[in-house]
Chain A
C-alpha cells in the first residue's frame, strides 16, 4: 500500500483527531509523564547550531574587536577618562593570535582618606543590609557579600606590605577578555541546555545572536564604567567591582536570555502535537 493511500490518510487523520479535546485543543499527557522527542535530526540541530554559532562568532571577532576599539576611542575622550588606547596581541592555541584593544592608565593607589571613605561606605552598606525588610532577603545577602569583599580589599591595602598585584590596565584587559570568553562559551552552553529543547531552530539561532550582540555592546560599556569607577575610587574598589559587577552581569545576562528563550512556545505546541511519553518499565 502506498504512503498516500486513502487508508493511510484516514489513519493519519484519525491520529490527529484522537488527541483533540475541548474546543479542538490538543490533549497533552499529564505533566509528570511528558518528555521531549529525541531523534537524529535533533542531535544534528544541536551540533549544527553550536558549530555554526561558534564559527559565526569567530568569523565576526575581528569586526567586534574593531567596533570595541572605535567605541573605546570615541568614548574615553567624551567621558573625560584619562586612558590611553593601545593593542595587545594574545596568542591562542594552534598558532592563532588576536589583537585586543587595551586601555592603559596609572593605577591610582588608595590613600588614608580613600580607605576611610571606603570603610565608611562599607559599614553603611552593611548597615543597610541588616536594616532591609525581610522580603528583600536575597538583596541583604548580596550586600553582605559585597561588604565582605570590600572589607577584604580595605584590609589588604591597610596592612599588606606587598603591592596590590593588579594594575587597572590589567584589570580592564581582563574584563574585556571575560566578555570575549562569555561570548565564546555562550553557544556551547546553549548547546548543552537550550538547543536540545523543543524549540524551532531559528528561535534558538535568534536568541544566540541576541545574547552575543548584547555581550558585544555590554562589554566595552562595562569596561568604560569600571575604568571610570576605578580612576575615581582607586584600586581599593577593584575586587568588589570585579566579583559583584564584573563577572555576575555576564552570568545574569546569559540567564535572562536563556530564561526568555525557555519561556517561548515549543515546537510541539506550534505543530499541535502532544508531547511524547517515553516508555515505562
Chain B
C-alpha cells in the first residue's frame, strides 16, 4: 500500500462510519417504533415555571412577548423574565413597558454588565432573578415564536422525575422564494425528523442545539448551572445534564417557530458559532461522553479530516496513484454532501416527505452547493477554535451581518 492509500483509507473509513450511522437513523425514523412520551398532557397540576428571555433586539422582543403572553399555561403559574442587557437601552425600554402593563407576570431582570454572552446572561438570571425559585425554568431566545400550547408541551416531560431537560422542534416561521431559507428549512427538517427523533427512538441523548428549552431547576443546579464560557450553551448544558444521569426529552410534536433573516452572512455567523461551540463541548466532555456523542460533537473535525483527506488525494493524483484518484472522486462528492454523509441528501428528502412538503425536495441539487460552504465553514471554525487558547463567546453580530440583516 502506498503512503497515500495508508492516509486515505482511514478517511474513507470515517466517511463510511458516518454514512452507515446516518442511514440507520433514516431507516429507524421511517420504519422503527417511535418514542413520543409526554404527548398531549393538557390537564395536570402544573408546576410554577419561569421563562428566561435573553434578548437584545427591541424589534424581536415584542412579537416574542406577545406569543408568550398568549400561552395557555395556567394564569399565575408563569413568570416571564426578560434579561435586559445594559448595552441595549432600546430593548430595555420596551421590556420595562411590558412590566408596567403586566405587573407580576413580566419581571425584567436588569444586568449590571454584559459578560459571557447568552450563557452568561442565563447564568446570572437563573441565580439572581425573581422567579428563579420556580421548579421549572424555560428559555426562549428573541428569534423564536412559541405557539399557544408550547409551554405546556415543554413542561409536561418534567412530570417524569428522571427528566432534567426538554426541548422542542424548531421550524422556520417564514420561507419565501429565497434559496437559503428553503435550504435551512430542509436542513431543519432533517435534523428534527430524522436526527433528533431517531436518536430519541434509539435511546441516545438528543442534542439541544437551539436556545429553546425547559429545565428542571434541581437538575440545572446539580449540573453546575449555565456556562458563560461556551458559544453553544444549550448543547453543552445538555451534555452536562446527560453526564449527571438526567434524561433529555425531545418533543418532536412540540414546534417552535424561528424567525430567520435569510442572509448568508447571518447563516455563516451562526454556523461558525455552532461549530466552535461543538468543539468547546467536545474538549470539555471528551473523557465522559460516549462514542455516539463524541462522533456528533466531533462533526466539525470530520469536516477538517475530509478537507485534509481531499488535499492528500489531490497530491496523490498528481503523483499518479490510482487509489488516490478514486478517493479524490469520492471525497469530492462527500465535500458537497451535508454532514459529511453520503446519505445526507436522502435524510433531507425523507424528512421533507414526512413533513408533507414533497415539492420542496426538488431543490436537492442546490443543497450540494450549500454543502460545500457548510463543510468549509465547519472546518475553518473548528481549526480556529482548536488553535485559539481561549475564545470568548462572540454574541455581538459583526457589522457586515448587521448591515445584511437590515437589507434582508
Contact check, A32 vs B252: say whether CB atoms are below 8 A apart: yes
- What residues of chain B lie closer than 8 Å to A137, measured between beta carbons? 264, 268, 373
Contact check, B314 vs A152: say whether CB atoms are below 8 A apart: yes
Contact check, B268 vs A33: say whether CB atoms are below 8 A apart: no
- What residues of chain B lie closer than 8 Å to A277, measured between beta carbons? 34
* Residues in A239-281 with C-beta less than 8 Å from chain B: 239, 242-243, 247-248, 251-252, 255-256, 258-260, 262-266, 277-281
> Any chain A CB within 8 A of the CB of B265?
yes
CA distance A156 to B320 in the complex (A): 12
Contact check, A31 vs B364: say whether CB atoms are below 8 A apart: no
CA distance A152 to B318 in the complex (A): 9
- B369: which of A38, A142, A149, A263 is its contact (CB, 8 Å)? A142
* Residues in A154-212 with C-beta less than 8 Å from chain B: 156, 160, 162, 165-166, 174, 178, 192-193, 196-197
* Residues in A99-145 with C-beta less than 8 Å from chain B: 134-135, 137-142, 145
Contact residues on B (Cβ < 8 Å of other chain), bracket:
35 or more
Contact check, B32 vs A266: say whether CB atoms are below 8 A apart: no
- What residues of chain A lie closer than 8 Å to B352, measured between beta carbons? 262
B171–chain A nearest beta-carbon distance, Å: 10
CA distance A98 to B355 in the complex (A): 45
Contact check, B359 vs A255: say whether CB atoms are below 8 A apart: no
CA distance A139 to B355 in the complex (A): 29
- B332: which of A28, A138, A248, A281 is its contact (CB, 8 Å)? A248
Contact check, A31 vs B355: say whether CB atoms are below 8 A apart: yes
- What residues of chain B lie closer than 8 Å to A62, measured between beta carbons? none
With A134-B263, A156-B318: A255-B350 Cβ-Cβ less than 8 Å: no
- What residues of chain B lie closer than 8 Å to A196, measured between beta carbons? 27, 30-31
CA distance A214 to B40 in the complex (A): 49
- What residues of chain B lie closer than 8 Å to A279, measured between beta carbons? 33-34
A30–chain B nearest beta-carbon distance, Å: 6
- Give B338-379 as 1s and 0s: 1 = Cβ < 8 Å from A's Cβ atoms: 000001011001101111101111111111111011001000
- What residues of chain A lie closer than 8 Å to B197, measured between beta carbons? 32
> Which residue of chain B lies nearest to A28 when distances are taken between CB atoms in the complex?
B356
> Any chain A CB within 8 A of the CB of B239?
no
- A33: which of B36, B178, B356 is its contact (CB, 8 Å)? B36
- 10 closest A-B pairs by beta carbon, nearest first, are A165-B320, A259-B364, A138-B369, A193-B346, A32-B252, A137-B264, A262-B349, A38-B31, A141-B373, A32-B253
Interface, chain A (partner B; CB < 8 A): 28, 30-36, 38, 134-135, 137-142, 145, 149, 152, 156, 160, 162, 165-166, 174, 178, 192-193, 196-197, 239, 242-243, 247-248, 251-252, 255-256, 258-260, 262-266, 277-281
21 contacts between A and B (CB under 8 A): A32-B193, A34-B354, A35-B29, A134-B264, A145-B372, A165-B317, A166-B320, A192-B346, A248-B333, A248-B336, A251-B333, A252-B365, A259-B345, A259-B362, A262-B349, A263-B362, A277-B34, A278-B32, A278-B33, A280-B34, A281-B33
